[in-house]
Amino acid sequence: MASTVTPNGFSLDDSGQRVVVDPICRIEGHLRIEVNLDESNTIRNAVSTGNMWRGLEVILKGRDPRDAWAFVERICGVCTGVHALASVRTVEDALGIDIPRNANSIRNLMMLSQYTQDHLVHFYHLHALDWVDVVSALNADPAATSQLQQSISSWRNSSPGYFRDVQNKLKRFVESGQLGPFANAYWGSDAYRLPAEANLMAVAHYLEALDFQKEIVKIHTIFGGRNPHPNWIVGGVPCSINVDQVGATGTVHMTWLNMVSDIINQSIEFIDKVYIPDLKAIASFYKDWGYGGGLAGKNMLSYGDFPLIANQWDNESLALPAGAIINGDLSTVHEVDTRDLEQIQEFVNHSWYSYDDESRGLHPWEGVTEPNFELGPNLKGTKTNIQEIDEGAKYSWLKAPRWKGHAMEVGPLSRFVIAYALGREDVKELVDSTLSELGLPLPALFSTLGRTAARGLECTWSAHKMREVFDDMMANLKAGDVATANMDMWEPSTWPGDVKGVGMVEAPRGALGHWIHIKDRKIENYQAIVPSTWNASPRDPAGNIGAYEASLLGTPLVNAEQPLEILRTIHSFDPCLACASH
């Protein structure tokens, strides 16, 4: 190949040194990244390989559509619940089922708490170590750390003594010689820029966030019985509400509602006093590290989510709007029709699947999932010992989804940019104030750091949104409506013989769609296109590269042996490979 330009405008050159990172850790699932570096250690070619496939779409065939949510929920335990929600929405769409207002509020609350927890865990436990040097925290001055903490927020744990304790723990941990999850990382790399005090503060919050995240998901536990993998039903939610009648404590009752309210308050406090100040503090040291854009700012997609009016799916109702941006033109937000057979399609000519005609894409209603593991002639290694993959042939367990032929980036950044472009005040305010605080222009968002920042802003957005949704639900309960499920179409005997449906969710990582074909009361075909399928997509027949691959191009590595920059950019998408390939 040597050097080419892709139809979506990226130059690829596979002539230089090949660097392989497999496994990419601190993500969900199994991902391999290969890049080619030029003489200046700058990435000129990038290859993203999905390393796993389980066959959920095959397994679902012939099953009861009402059970599907439980199967697809197991697509991922990190973004737990999102596939289940997409599934019940899909079935409800196919059968024409409207859900009660409370069910809509509860679903919104569960998804918003999912955002809050998932984003928080991603930032501290999966992503922070790309920016924070744990070992350097050993040299911090606890008093200065305390000052730093107090200067950026009013969070309660801020005394010099507190940070000294954390540092001492860390010291003994390191001295024990058993470094556990911190062993063998790229510590000391020149790519790390934070002062020791900021590192120490971040380490303290790593530990605090680990303890706190489990509180947020208790909203799932109350309404869905547990987390991970809460329960759902077609037609509403499985929990009943009884605030003042006989037997109330046998179901969702006043005490639990109070607890939900409490969790919302705590979440808002933690996100606003810990996560957001940390994010800004860290970002201020990496402002000029502007790499990792790729498709960001060019091609972005959101299906929209959080219908504030039950069963209404337009931008009037959706708290996060739907739309697509193409070729970087923020002035036009295109409408997305997930039912149009020509708009969303999946290609497999670089994927380990087969179609009858692989030059064409298939809309998910016509989708086919037929595995076909086959390696290209330029492979280095053997079938069961891949040293360097041949991206000229099939090279990933992910299909390649495209919108009107375009590779798209999805995720918090896409959602926020689309909301911004549509003039949504809440989002604009968050984005503008953050950018002005950091002294950055809007295009600075279209980068690794922008992706990470958007996720943080969305986290505070969702924590606050929970309050709004909760209050709205309480008002509805006060008005006497306690219904949580519509069971009119529960019995399969009431269903039409042959129907299709589509259900969308904006999952933490981006646009998620499930498509179903129900025939004779059984699943005839079930297809999912998942956020990480979009972002980690392999190439398509036209040669367009996906968001991961595009984002890595042009990034210089400080040290090819320690490809920290690759981790940074890939982690900024919050990859989920179990999701992506399913």
Catalytically active residues are 28, 76, 79, 83, 509, 532, 576, 579
Q: Is 24 in the site for ligand NFV (CB under 6 A)?
A: no
Nearer to ligand SF4 (CB atom), residue 14 or residue 73: 73
- 78 lines the binding site for ligand NFV (CB under 6 A): yes
Size of the site for ligand SF4 (CB under 6 A): 2
CB 293 within 8 A of CB 551: yes
Residue 508 site contact among ligand NFV, other proteins, Mg ion, none (CB < 5 to 8 Å, cut-off depends on kind): ligand NFV
- Which residues fall within 8 angstroms of residue 356, CB to CB, at 6 or more apart? none
423 Rama sector, left if φ>0, alpha if ψ -120 to 50, beta otherwise: left
Query: Least separation, in Å, of the C-beta of 320 and other proteins?
Result: 24
Residue with smaller CB distance to Mg ion, 344 or 485: 344
Task: Annotate 188-199 with b (16+ C-beta within 10 A) or e (fewer).
Answer: ebebbebbbbbb
> Among 79, 200, 239, 566, which residue sits at the site for ligand NFV (rule: CB under 6 A)?
79
Helix (H), strand (E) at residue 388: strand 385-388
- Amino acid 2 reads A
- Rounded Cα gap, residues 526 and 68, in angstroms: 9
**Residue 462 CB coordination number (10 Å):** 28
For residue 120, the minimal CB distance to other proteins (Å) is: 12
The whole-angstrom separation of Cα 247 and Cα 252 is 10
In whole angstroms, how close is the CB of 578 to ligand SF4 at the nearest point?
8
Q: Which segment (36-44, 73-81, 98-106, 426-434) binds ligand NFV by CB under 6 A?
A: 73-81
Cα–Cα dist 268/470, whole Å = 13
CA 257 to CA 226: how far, in whole Å? Answer: 16
Query: Closest approach of Cβ 508 to other proteins, in Å?
Result: 13
- Residues between 521 and 550 that touch Mg ion (CB under 5 A): 528
264 contact choice in ligand NFV, other proteins, Mg ion, none (CB below 5 to 8 Å, kind-dependent):
none
Taking Cα atoms as reference points, which of 110, 298, 134 lies closest to residue 200?
134
Q: Quick one: what does residue 167 bind among other proteins, Mg ion, ligand SF4, none, with the CB cut-off 5 to 8 Å set by partner type?
A: none
Out of 525, 532, 544, 572, the residue judged to bind ligand NFV by CB under 6 A: 532
Per rule CB under 5 A, count of chain residues that contact Mg ion: 1
Two tokens at 41?
A: 């250690």
181: partner contacted, choices other proteins, ligand SF4, Mg ion, none (Cβ within 5-8 A by kind):
other proteins
CB of 567 to ligand SF4, least distance (A): 24
| CA pair distance 372, 392, nearest whole angstrom | 16
Q: Give, as ranges, the residues between 36 and 75 that touch ligand SF4 (CB under 6 A).
A: 74
Binding partner of residue 148 among ligand SF4, Mg ion, ligand NFV, none, CB cut-off 5 to 8 Å per kind:
none
User: Cα(427)–Cα(247) distance, rounded to whole angstroms?
Assistant: 43
d(CA 509, CA 303): 12
Residue 536 amino acid letter: A
Q: Which is nearer to ligand NFV, 34 or 574 (CB)?
A: 574
- Compute the distance between CA of residue 80 and CA of residue 83 in angstroms, rounded to an integer: 7
Q: Which of 128, 130, 135 is nearest to 167 (CA)?
A: 135
CB of 227 to ligand SF4, least distance (A): 11
CB-nearer residue toward ligand SF4: 80 or 569: 80
Cis peptide before 563 (omega within 30 of 0): no
Query: b or e along 263-279 (b: 16 or more beta carbons within 10 Å of the residue's beta carbon)?
Result: bbeebbebbbbbbbbbb
CB neighbours (10 Å) of residue 339?
A: 13
Rounded to a whole number of angstroms, the minimum distance from the CB of residue 217 to other proteins is: 7
Token output for 2: 């040597």
Subset of 28-67 contacting ligand NFV (CB under 6 A)? 28
When the beta carbons of 170 and 507 are compared against ligand NFV, the nearer one is 507
For position 576 contacting ligand NFV by CB under 6 A, the verdict is: yes
Give the one entry of ligand NFV, ligand SF4, Mg ion, none that residue 74 binds, where binding means its C-beta sits below a cut-off of 5 to 8 angstroms depending on kind: ligand SF4
Report how many residues bind ligand NFV under the rule CB under 6 A: 16
Going from the C-alpha of 229 to that of each of 95, 137, 233, the distances in angstroms are 24, 36, 13
Interacting residues with ligand NFV between 300 and 319 (CB under 6 A): none
When CB distances are held under 5 to 8 angstroms depending on the partner's kind, the choice from ligand NFV, ligand SF4, Mg ion, none that residue 398 binds is none
Task: Evaluate whether 427 touches 416 at the Cβ level (below 8 Å).
Answer: yes
Interface with ligand NFV (CB under 6 A), residue from 121, 507, 550, 567 = 507
Give which of 339, 335, 338 is closest to 324, Cα–Cα. 335
68-107: contacts with ligand SF4 (CB under 6 A): 74, 77
Q: Residue 124 touches which of other proteins, ligand SF4, ligand NFV, none (CB < 5 to 8 A by kind)?
A: none
Cβ atoms of residues 330 and 421 within 8 Å: yes
Question: Residues with Cβ < 8 Å from 381, sequence gap 6 or more?
Answer: 387, 388
**82 is an interface residue for ligand NFV by CB under 6 A:** yes
82 binds, among ligand SF4, ligand NFV, other proteins, none (CB under 5 to 8 A by kind): ligand NFV
**At closest approach, how far in Å is the CB of 114 from ligand NFV?**
8
The span of 273-281, 301-309, 441-449, 520-528 binding Mg ion (CB under 5 A) equals: 520-528
Which of ligand SF4, ligand NFV, other proteins, none binds 496 (CB below 5-8 Å, type-dependent)? none
- Residue 408 as a binder of Mg ion (CB under 5 A): the answer is no
Distance from C-alpha of 521 to C-alpha of 303, rounded to nearest angstrom:
28
Measured from the CB of residue 89, what is the shortest distance to ligand NFV in angstroms? 13
Decide the pairing of beta strands 318-320 and 323-325: unpaired
Closest to 407 (Cα-Cα) out of 345, 339, 360: 345
For the CB of residue 309, give the shortest distance to ligand NFV in the complex, in Å: 24
Q: Which residues bind ligand SF4 (CB under 6 A)?
A: 74, 77
- The footprint of ligand NFV (CB under 6 A) covers 28, 76, 78-79, 82-83, 507-509, 512, 530-532, 576, 579-580
